[in-house]
Amino acid sequence: MLLFLIVIIPVLGAVLSVLLPVRVRGIANLAAHGGVFVLAAVLAYHFSVGNGVLVFGGVLRADALSAFFVFLISLVNLAALVYSRPYLREDVFAGVLSEKQVRGYDILFNVFAATMLVVPLLDSLGHMWVAVELTTLASAFLVGFYNSKSSVEAAWKYVIICSVGITLALLGTVLVYHAVAAQTGLKTLDWSVIIVQAPGLDPRVIGAAFLFILVGYGTKAGLAPMHTWLPDAHSQALTPVSALLSGVLLKTSLYAIIRFAMITQKAMGADFTSRLFIFFGLFSVAVAGIFLLAQKDFKRLLAYSSIEHVGIIVFALGVGTPLAVFGALFHALNHAMSKSLIFFAAGNAVKRYKTHHLHMIHGLVRAMPFTAGAALVGLLSLVGMPPFGIFMSKLLILTACFQKGLYGPAALLLFFLAVVFGGLMFHLGPSIFGKKPKGVVSGGEAFSMKLVFVVLALFLVFLGVVMPTPLRALLEAASRTITGVGI
Amino acid sequence: MMTLFFLTGILVLTYAMLVCHRIPALIQNFRLQSLFLFLVTLDFAVRHREAKVFVVAGLLLLVKVILIPSFLSRLVKKIKVDERLGLFLNPLLSLISALFLTWGASVFCSWFLYTRQTAVFAAFVVSITVVLVGFFIMVFRMKALSQIVGLLVMENGIFLLASVMAGGMPFFVEIAIAFDVFVCAIITGIFMYRINKVFTHIEVHRLTDLKG
């Protein structure tokens, strides 16, 4: 029932957004996503105290891994919702958006949230594929929301490139289906059934399937070299949506990859997936680092940083020890929060300075102190400075890497991370502390935005200093689900 | 035997897509290919007497043979663009490339497939070829519409694989996918409409505002 509620509430939110007038709509949406967050936290807590599996109606299924992703998605959803209120109000006030468009935004936001929340809760790999494709379709209009030349172009590239990727993932799914049917005679795509049969499946077919899956879902996850849609979509989308795309949409695809990787590892040993993960992970971090150095656009800069972090997570999955997987999941959580925080700050800055150009956004600290603070915390967190959570998760991943004796990959990763560090610091330092251009007014940040900034920043510091026991237990359980071994 | 006939039909229609010069021809070609896909599924349903596969076949007929092509044709008429597809690679070279793609597909399939049944192997090769040609159309044709059709062709290839192998995927998955393909066609169609409105053309290679 819990699982069903988590999925159905945003759907109801979408329906209510169609019916209700503006004021009530805001409260209803807040209540809906607050409710989903609480339910997700209950679900996460359930799996942190004891293991097991929850099912609903033969379609929905949750284990510790799903619970973690649902928690992550609901958290960023709630933050984005709270932030988007004042953000859209300003646009309406400035005459950029109409009330009708804001209603459209509310509907799409809820549909997008529902599709993302359902991905980790579906048992059938076929349904999961449909849900992932629906996330693209639901968010396409949010990327092309302003209907300008560049946003329509970004939305087009986003839909087309991601759909091609997803189509390849469908091919991979069909191959897995074929392998299962050929081996056992079972006509099923249910993950829970396939994982039991996995050791007997034809390793060659499964290997070929995994290649399609990795390239397919990897496109959506933003792995280089299939990442080309990502900077466009992230920079053109509405800012709360950029945060959602970067913070959680990429991770839902990663979730799909993880599920298939588990099958593949059982069918043909861990080496195959491990090598692929490490290669794509390192390559993504490297590509992101190079493009970061040459960036001029604030939001594109952050988009490339997302590619880097997805690279780190995939790298950690490639290392594959329980500690590394624990670090990968923890990193996903930290990245989602840091990236939301800094995207929100970037959105404010872009609006105030009326430009995306980094060399024109200077002296944020004088124009918008809270936003500047958020940008600074986000920046320091993203590059991996203590005392923020990302420092801890990177440390865990590198420790696991050294423990396993992967010195070469670890060294390469550290080198690329240093490049990224330089790129981000070089670009964002002046934006935060430089000289404020004349004509940019100071102050005037909405209360709810400040609230989101402070809460997210405190969360990040908190996670860097102490690891709450339930979260730790949940991550351990999820890591055990993936690797089959405890830490 | 029947299956091989249908497979050949699909392969021929797939190649024929590469010689299309005009948008309506491409859409009609896609409609025919989908019709053959429908026949393959129907054939399976008749032979195995499975009610669910009949439903899937019916859905295929409705969505891919009737609704999507009609929607796309109407859209193209509405936006009144130049009907030429804009070929980056001329038909002959495209055909030769497609032959190589088929050869590549058969090499790929023989790499991981140990089947002795000719029909299954042929189905694999044809399906992968259709997927590759769909991708080829997306890359080597200029118009946004050809990208939509290319995507649908890729999906047709995968449908074919699932149909020939096992009469399609599990019932509810199949329904969900059909719904999804339909929504995808509509949404990409709407975006094509918007591209035409903002840029006054639908040539994708001229969408170059965003770089780096």
- Predicted local confidence at residue A375, as pLDDT: 94
Give domain status of residue B126, yes or no.
Answer: yes
In A354-368, alpha helices (H): 364-367
Give domain status of residue B211, yes or no.
Answer: no
Mean pLDDT for B61-75 is 95
Tens-place pLDDT, residues A147-171: 899 999 999 999 999 999 999 999 9
Which among A133, A140, A164 has CB closest to B135? A164
Residues of A in contact with B188 (CB under 8 A): 159-160, 163
Mean pLDDT for B99-108 is 94
Residues of A in contact with B207 (CB under 8 A): 153, 156-157
Distance from CA of B91 to the nearest CA of A (A): 23
| Neighbouring-strand partners of residue A474 | none
ipTM value of the model?
0.95
Distance from CA of B209 to the nearest CA of A (A): 6
Give domain status of residue B212, yes or no.
Answer: no
CB-CB under 8 Å, A163 with B158 = no
Mean pLDDT for B16-30 is 93
Distance from CA of A400 to the nearest CA of B (A): 34
Q: In a 3-state reduction of DSSP, which class is residue A52?
A: coil
Give domain status of residue A28, yes or no.
Answer: no
Tens-place pLDDT, residues A363-411: 899 999 989 999 999 999 999 998 899 999 999 999 999 999 999 999 9
Tens-place pLDDT, residues B133-153: 999 999 998 899 999 999 999
Give domain status of residue A348, yes or no.
Answer: yes
Which among A144, A148, A294 has CB closest to B191? A144
- Predicted local confidence at residue B203, as pLDDT: 87
Q: Interior CA angle at A375 toward A374 and A378, to 5°?
A: 85
CB-CB under 8 Å, B184 with A150 = no
Could you give the number of structural domains in chain A? Answer: 1
Q: How many whole angstroms separate alpha carbon A154 and alpha carbon A202?
A: 40
CA-nearest of A240, A233, A92 to A157 is: A233
What is the extent of the structural domain holding B156?
2-206
What is the extent of the structural domain holding A311?
278-487
Within A199-343, strands assigned E span none
CA distances from A199 to A275, A321, A331 (A): 20, 20, 30
Could you tell me which residues of chain B have a Cβ less than 8 Å from any Cβ in chain A? 108, 111-114, 131, 135, 138, 144, 147, 151, 154-155, 157-158, 161-162, 165-166, 169-170, 172-174, 176-177, 179-180, 183-184, 187-188, 191-192, 194-195, 198-199, 204, 207, 209-210, 212
Tell which wins on pLDDT, B210 or A482: A482
- Where residue A13 falls (left for φ over 0; alpha for ψ -120 to 50; beta otherwise) is alpha
Reported as a pLDDT band with limits 50, 70 and 90, residue B206 is confident
Reported as a pLDDT band with limits 50, 70 and 90, residue B13 is very high
Residue B150 main-chain phi, psi, to 5 deg: -55, -45
Which among B138, B155, B176 has CB closest to A130? B176
- Predicted local confidence at residue A285, as pLDDT: 96
pLDDT at B50 over 90: no
Mean pLDDT for A311-325 is 96
Could you give the number of structural domains in chain B? Answer: 1
The number of CA neighbours under 13 Å toward the Cβ of A73 is 34
pLDDT at B166 over 70: no
- Predicted local confidence at residue B167, as pLDDT: 63
pLDDT at A469 over 70: yes
Residues of A in contact with B154 (CB under 8 A): 164, 167
CB-CB under 8 Å, B187 with A140 = yes
Virtual torsion, Cα A111, A112, A117, A118, nearest 10 deg? 60
pLDDT at B211 over 80: no
Give domain status of residue A472, yes or no.
Answer: yes
A window 231-290, beta carbon within 8 A of B = 231-232, 235-236
Reported as a pLDDT band with limits 50, 70 and 90, residue A57 is confident
Give domain status of residue B130, yes or no.
Answer: yes
Tens-place pLDDT, residues A175-185: 999 899 888 88
Tens-place pLDDT, residues A440-455: 888 788 888 899 999 9
Q: In a 3-state reduction of DSSP, which class is residue B148?
A: helix
Give domain status of residue A454, yes or no.
Answer: yes
Count the Cβ atoms, other than its own, within 10 Å of residue A141. 22
Give domain status of residue B8, yes or no.
Answer: yes
